[in-house]
């Protein structure tokens, strides 16, 4: 460990191991990172699911540089600046019908906590103050703030932090290796798992439940696709019982599945959508909550004079972030990136499923420009060792992939071509047999 790396306590990282042999990135361009030594690394993860348009795009870089020299900051409380209003209007053009109000945050974690608070306040304003229970899902990831951690369903993210929020319960996850292993695209089996919400309604009574939050496709726990009909059933149950449905689209938003949002991809409209990551192409931290007009108007009509929602952040709608987001949306539009996943899905699926039969591979999943390879756990070893060693082997060969539990996740920038898809999966084909 050197003085150069001592001070930074890295997030979601094995710090002691990393600092013995740091993996450093110094610059990025297009589809590639470059190390301080000048080694080229193909980005198979879009940074961290966020650099959807590729790295260092000139339009986005120029917009950030111009904005920071023009209006570097503007207070968002009781003040405004034109870019925030312009960006909200542009974002609404991409959203499912009815989700036409946008609340700005600075990350996906903040977007989730904001959506949960909006849900609780909405029911209170309607006279249903007893609706305080929040429902997440096992293996769901909703960021790392207290609200998101509470409704999230990834064990290691929760176990050190006590109970966090009270009044939270979880649906069962939808991952079914017995019936759905090696499915190309959306699984056929498991729509009935949405009925788990009816079980929780009986247990807690619908009159106590404020909202259900799920990822349309769970990314961080290993690319878990919704079974056909599952999200539709979940929507119907929520509607029937007056429960708000929130889609966490921090990963699936802005083209990852081949549509602007997972809501459109799966044909299901929630009451709120949280987003971040691809909103600014990962350049400046920013998140947002899409809210339907009914929820928004309840605040406008039911509150007294003055502030309608006592919630927000110092950097909500930051002018530099707004400039980055507008330039990002322009880039997506000019290059057709929000739907490019549809055109590239077949190449991604064929390359991914060609790995079937390699040692320890027990499942492969794909949709749009995302895929996962799941490994059997190594006996008597820490969880995820095979995936982590595969990640290291690919890094050594110049390809960046992501280890997510027992899975390797692939989520490249949307500008990827077929040759680069081939490079990612050929590298995996070479590395996987070397991992015991």
Is the separation of the CB atoms in 281 and 328 below 8 Å? yes
Q: Does 104 score more than 70 pLDDT?
A: yes
- 301 or 304: which carries more pLDDT confidence? 301
pLDDT tier at 268, thresholds 50, 70, 90: very high
CB under 8 Å to 282, separation ≥6 — which residues?
46, 47, 48, 50, 51, 52
H-state helical runs in 206-339: 230-241, 262-266, 293-302, 319-335
Question: pLDDT tens across 15-24, in order?
Answer: 999 999 999 9
Distances (CA, A) of 22 to 32, 113, 214, 395: 18, 33, 35, 12
Question: pLDDT tens across 48-99, in order?
Answer: 999 999 999 999 999 999 999 999 999 999 999 999 999 999 999 999 999 9
SS3 (DSSP) at 2: coil
Query: How high is the pLDDT of residue 64?
Result: 98
Average pLDDT, the chain: 97
Q: Does 319 score more than 80 pLDDT?
A: yes
**Kind of pairing between the strands at 101-105 and 40-43:** unpaired
**pLDDT over 90 percentage in the chain:** 97
Best CA proximity match to 210, nearest among 150, 120, 272, 146: 120
The tokens 């939050």 sit on which residue?
213
- Note the pTM of the prediction, 2 decimals: 0.97
CB atoms within 10 A of CB 350: 15
Q: Does 303 score more than 80 pLDDT?
A: no
pLDDT tier at 3, thresholds 50, 70, 90: low
Mean pLDDT of 321-346: 98
Q: Which domains does the chain have, with CATH numbers?
A: 3-56+339-434 (3.90.1150.10), 62-335 (3.40.640.10)
Sign of CA dihedral 47, 53, 58, 61: negative
Q: Give phi and psi for 212, each to the nearest 5.
A: -115, 135
């Amino acid at each position: 460990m050197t003085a150069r790396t001592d001070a930074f306590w890295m997030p979601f990282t094995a710090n002691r191991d990393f600092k013995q042999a740091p993996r450093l990135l110094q610059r990025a361009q297009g589809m590639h990172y470059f190390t301080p030594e000048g080694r080229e690394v193909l980005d198979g993860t879009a940074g961290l699911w966020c650099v959807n348009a590729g790295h260092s795009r000139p339009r986005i870089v120029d917009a950030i540089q111009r904005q920071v020299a023009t209006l570097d900051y503007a207070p968002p409380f009781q003040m405004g600046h034109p870019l925030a209003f312009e960006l909200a209007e542009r974002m609404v053009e991409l959203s499912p019908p009815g989700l036409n109000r946008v609340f700005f945050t600075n990350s996906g974690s903040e977007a989730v906590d904001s959506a949960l608070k909006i849900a609780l306040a909405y029911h209170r304003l309607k006279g249903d103050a007893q609706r305080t229970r929040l429902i997440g899902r096992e293996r769901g990831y909703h960021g790392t703030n207290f609200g998101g951690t509470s409704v999230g369903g990834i064990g290691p993210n929760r176990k050190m932090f006590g109970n966090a929020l009270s009044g939270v319960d979880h649906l069962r996850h939808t991952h079914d290796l017995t019936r759905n292993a090696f499915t190309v695209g959306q699984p056929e089996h498991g729509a009935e798992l949405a009925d788990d919400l009816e079980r929780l309604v009986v247990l807690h009574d619908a009159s106590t439940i404020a909202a259900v939050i799920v990822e349309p496709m769970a990314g961080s726990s290993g690319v878990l696709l919704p079974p056909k009909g599952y999200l539709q059933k979940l929507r119907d149950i929520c509607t029937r019982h007056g429960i708000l449905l929130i889609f966490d689209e921090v990963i699936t938003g802005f083209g990852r599945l081949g549509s602007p949002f997972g809501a459109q991809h799966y044909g299901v409209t929630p009451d709120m959508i949280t987003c971040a990551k691809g909103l600014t192409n990962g350049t400046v931290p920013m998140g947002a909550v899409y809210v339907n007009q009914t929820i928004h108007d309840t605040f406008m009509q039911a509150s007294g004079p003055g502030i309608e929602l006592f919630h927000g952040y110092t950097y909500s709608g930051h002018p530099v972030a707004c400039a980055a987001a507008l330039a990002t949306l322009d880039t997506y539009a000019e290059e057709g990136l929000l739907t490019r996943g549809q055109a590239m899905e077949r190449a991604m699926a064929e390359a991914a499923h060609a790995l079937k039969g390699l040692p320890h591979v027990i499942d492969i999943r794909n949709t749009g420009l995302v895929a996962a390879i799941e490994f059997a756990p190594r006996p008597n070893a820490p969880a995820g060792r095979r995936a982590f060693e595969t990640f290291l082997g690919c890094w050594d060969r110049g390809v960046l992939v992501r280890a997510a539990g027992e899975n390797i996740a692939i989520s490249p920038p949307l500008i990827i071509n077929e040759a680069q898809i081939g490079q990612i999966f050929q590298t995996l084909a070479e590395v996987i047999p070397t991992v015991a």
